Amino acid sequence: MIRHRRAARAAALVVGAAVIGVFGLASSASAHVTVNPREATQGGYGRVAFRVPTESDTASTVKLEVTFPDDAALASVSTMPVPGWTAVVEKRKVNPPVEVHGSQVGEVVSKITWTASATAGIKPGEFQEFPVSMGPLPEVKQLVFRVLQHYSDGNTARWIEPPAADGTEPENDPAPVLKLLPAAGEGTPANSGPAVVQQQEPAVTSSEDGGDSAALGLGVAGLVAGLAGLALGGLAFARTRRRAAPPAA
């Protein structure tokens, strides 16, 4: 019975440590500035949001600078109002011009800067999204945005490191990345990217469920064994009392 209990406790501790590790890694990996959703379709317009969490325990995020990639021109970028924040859009000249709906456009967006009012900073433990609409999205595999996140104490987080050639996210200061999928009918189905994610997620879930079930099964087995031992002990004690009791007069 003791062995069962120890095994159940050990299994539960192992599962608990694994779950904490998984969620701990997920939290640290998602703590930087990201773009959501992380995929869009080439040639069209996309609505995305830059999601900005405040990592500091004492300072608020008061300014955000998002620099657009130099090798992928975006002629049309519109910002959505964010209460308490002002947005300034900067442009740069391009040659040759970019064609948008049959017209030649000689300027593209190079940077957007959001600045908070005195009371609108992103406080510790909070996050804010900054939505934009942009397009036409170029026929490239991805857009890498360089982001500077300014804090009220004067510190600046620099999310500027692009992914590796194999798509692996850098360990430090990863830049937000928007993956661009070919339009339907251009050789790759438009939903090919999400399909890969949908196939991978159940595998992780089943593994975690299996670990939890194993720990629960061991715990139940130990409990059943303990109850059985108590029952047998009670029966043996009752029999001993009956045998030792003096005959009635």
Residue 139 CB-half CA count within 13 A: 7
pLDDT digits (tens, 9 = 90+) for 182-220: 987 655 444 444 433 334 444 444 444 455 555 555 555
**pLDDT tens by residue, 114-143:** 999 999 999 999 999 999 999 999 999 999
Residue whose structure tokens are 């964010």: 82
Distance CA 39, CA 193 (A): 8
Distance CA 134, CA 131 (A): 10
Expressed in percent and rounded to 5, the helix, strand and coil fractions of the chain are 35, 35, 35
**Can you say whether the dihedral through the CA atoms of 178, 175, 64, 91 is positive or negative?**
negative
Query: Could you tell me which residue, 140 or 31, shows the higher pLDDT?
Result: 140
